[in-house]
A and B are shown apart, each in its own frame.
Chain A
Amino acid sequence: MSDLRVTPLNALHRELGAKMVPFAGYDMPVQYKLGVMKEHLHCRAEAGLFDVSHMGQVILRHPDGVEAAALALESLVPVDVAGLASGRQRYGFFTNEAGGIMDDLMLANRGDHLFVVVNAACKEADIAHMRAHLTGCEVEEISDRALLALQGPKAEAVLEALVPGVADMRFMDVAIMASEYGELWISRSGYTGEDGYEISVPASEAEEFARALLSHEAVEPIGLGARDSLRLEAGLCLYGHDIDEETSPVEARLTWAIQKLRRAGGAREGGFPGAERILAELSDGAARHRVGLRPEGRAPMREGTELYAEAEGGTPIGRVTSGAFGPTIEAPMSMGYVPKDVSAEGTQLFGDVRGKRQPVTVAALPFTPANFKR
């Protein structure tokens, strides 16, 4: 335990009765008193507050300005970074030489620099990767700020009362706002499929800010357990599970994040690690795909469940990469990889659950409709 890092909200989590678990090297709340199921439903109905301070916050600067930083970052991600307008954010991923995914990230243009948020478990590797390859860029890890997410249909009203102006932001807008909790770095985004915000706040003010949000009757603290079921219902990938160093963005069906400009024939075609494989898969298709899966009955089909085309015999054709019970859809849900020829919606497959083949149907993602303010 002594090796675990803590976030600026650690004492508050304990005060709120959180069950704490080690996660990506941090002592994090997996659930509070409500429990995973009620926390999940509360976030979909009202608003939930998440501590995501374990994630990496990084500023990228280039002496020649933000465009130079953006062009440098384009050497590591298959994303149109230089075309991102000031005040806007985009999803992306670091690719490796084999065309797999090193990590997924959010990147924002903040006028004179880029702001990047990466996964906790990958942040040291990501920062080393950026320092090694972003020639001429200053890569500054921000370690004196907490990161909170306020998600759900009431998030806008709750945050607007504390930070006037945030209601005017659109999905994937970013803004730097002054507040009584110091300078807030706000994006209108999240990891639940709901409308909401991710807010970077000075560590010294984080607890007071969190208390102010929690004092609103619509807001409950939400742990990592519900964070996982919320993102899975929303069809969002969890790095290290649904995407990893082996999976390409095309297999993962994240091609929407690769703008035309970076594809074959685009003005800044390729030029990122693994471009050969990724561009080839973009034109020819990948042999396997990430799909949504709806198991029959109520039993969840969890990560690692082997998938078969037949009810009996045969060899596994794919594997579940995330699986849980969806509190909103009141049914089990999974994501996994299957060969292209059985990846169409409605295709029936079978998952081996405790030695029995259980029927499971390829389904559309997300499982719950997104509720963004576009």
Chain B
Amino acid sequence: MKFTEEHEWLREEDGLIVVGITEHAAEQLGDVVFVELPEEGTEVAKDDEVVVIESVKAASDILAPIDGEIVEVNSVLADEPAKVNDDPLGDAWFFKIKASDPSQMDDMMDEAAYKAFIG
């Protein structure tokens, strides 16, 4: 598993990269009440805003961590946004991306580095 400074996690699964947010991010957001997901098939570039999350506190964006095509989104989150707080590392993944340049992940943090990053 890899982590970004934007508090996303990336996990490789069947040749795709699954993306979600970390427990730390979910806790900082507070109760999530709305998730807007991108359309499947969307081509994205690293740092494009792809997901909007609204919590009881504020709206925030999730950025595409790498270039590629969004091939699947977790549409359950649209109806059950609270899953993001309940299981951010598991059930509440946001989208799966077909990476056009997997080497973009090479410089990302591993779990130990991310833990150090959030202090």
Contact = CB atoms under 8 A, between A and B. Distances in A.
Interface in B45-71: 52, 54, 56-59
B34 interface: yes
B31 interface: yes
Contacts of B58: 302
Interface stretch (A31-39, A158-166, A168-176, A272-280): A31-39
A270 interface: no
Given A36-B57, A225-B57, A300 B52 contact: no
A31 B29 CA distance: 12
A321 interface: no
A35 B30 contact: yes
Contacts of B43: none
Contacts of B36: 299
A332 B58 CA distance: 13
B81 interface: yes
B68 to A, nearest CB: 23
A36 B34 contact: no
A337 interface: no
A325 B33 contact: yes
Contacts of A332: 33-34
Contacts of B54: 298-300, 325
Interface string A318-356: 000000110100001000000000000000000000100
A324 B56 contact: yes
B30 A300 contact: no
Interface string A21-40: 00000000001000111100
A229 interface: yes
A311 to B, nearest CB: 19
Contact of A36 (B52, B56, B78): B56
Contacts of A299: 34, 36, 52, 54
Interface residues of A, number: 17
A155 B115 CA distance: 43
A37 B54 CA distance: 13
A343 B46 CA distance: 44
Nearest to B35: A298
Interface in B79-118: 81-82, 85
A298 B34 contact: yes
Contacts of B82: 37
A35 B78 CA distance: 21
A297 B81 CA distance: 13
A38 to B, nearest CB: 8
Given A298-B81, A300-B54, A354-B52, A36 B31 contact: yes
Nearest to B30: A36
A300 B34 CA distance: 8
A367 B31 CA distance: 20
Interface of B: 30-31, 33-34, 36, 52, 54, 56-59, 78, 81-82, 85
Given A35-B85, A36-B30, A36-B56, 18 more contacts: A36-B31, A37-B33, A225-B30, A225-B56, A297-B34, A298-B33, A298-B34, A298-B78, A298-B81, A299-B54, A300-B33, A300-B54, A325-B33, A325-B54, A325-B56, A332-B34, A354-B52, A354-B59
Interface of A: 31, 35-38, 225, 229, 297-300, 302, 324-325, 327, 332, 354
